[in-house]
């Protein structure tokens, strides 16, 4: 099957609304997040296993107000609802901003799928319950 595009990873309707997502897409997504974070300046990419219907293999783009560039572990903790104050400082970004060094996102995706094809041991994934909507307003 064809590899995913950046739109597949960023949209809840990606990968044919989730029905065309394969195991290698999850592995490539994890590699792609690491690669994107090396080339993003003002935004952090996070892997997001979206529960429920639609695409479960997503990448969230987050900007944190007044926190600099916090580690991914802190961001995921806030997404899980374990740090309300930190969660309130997060802003969800729509669309991929420009990458530094004029890197082409398609090249990063190709390299991510190549690395994913070499990966043999996949980790068990846990669904993360997140409280927000994609309209830019956090829910309480």
Q: What is the β-pairing status of strands 57-64 and 90-92? A: antiparallel
pLDDT, tens only, 6-26: 999 998 888 887 788 888 898
Contact in structure between 136 and 95 (CB atoms under 8 Å): no
Taking the model in full, what pTM does it have? 0.74
Q: What is the pLDDT of residues 80-93, one digit of tens each?
A: 777 777 777 778 88
- Lowest-pLDDT choice from 33-37, 90-94, 129-133: 129-133
Q: Give the bridge partners for 48, in sequence order.
A: 58
- For residue 92, the model assigns a pLDDT of 83
Q: Which two tokens stand for residue 119?
A: 């990966």
State how far the Cα of 13 lies from the Cα of 58, in Å rounded to an integer. 10
Q: Where are the chain's structural domains? A: 6-118
Give the model's confidence band at 56: pLDDT under 50 very low, under 70 low, under 90 confident, else very high: confident
Determine the pLDDT at residue 108: 92
Two structure tokens written together for 50: 């979206």
- Residue 68's pLDDT is 65
């Amino acid at each position: 099957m064809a590899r995913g595009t950046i739109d597949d990873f960023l949209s809840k309707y990606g990968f044919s609304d989730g029905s065309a997502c394969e195991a290698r897409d999850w592995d490539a997504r994890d590699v792609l997040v690491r690669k994107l974070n090396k080339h993003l300046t003002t935004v952090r990419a996070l892997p997001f296993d979206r529960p429920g219907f639609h695409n479960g293999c997503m990448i969230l783009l987050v900007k944190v107000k007044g926190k600099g560039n916090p580690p991914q572990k802190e961001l995921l903790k806030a997404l899980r609802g374990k740090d309300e104050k930190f969660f309130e400082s997060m802003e969800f970004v729509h669309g991929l901003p420009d990458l530094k060094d004029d890197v082409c996102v398609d090249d990063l995706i190709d390299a991510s799928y190549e690395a994913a094809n070499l990966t043999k041991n996949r980790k068990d994934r846990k669904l993360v319950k997140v409280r927000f909507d994609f309209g830019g307003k956090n829910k309480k």
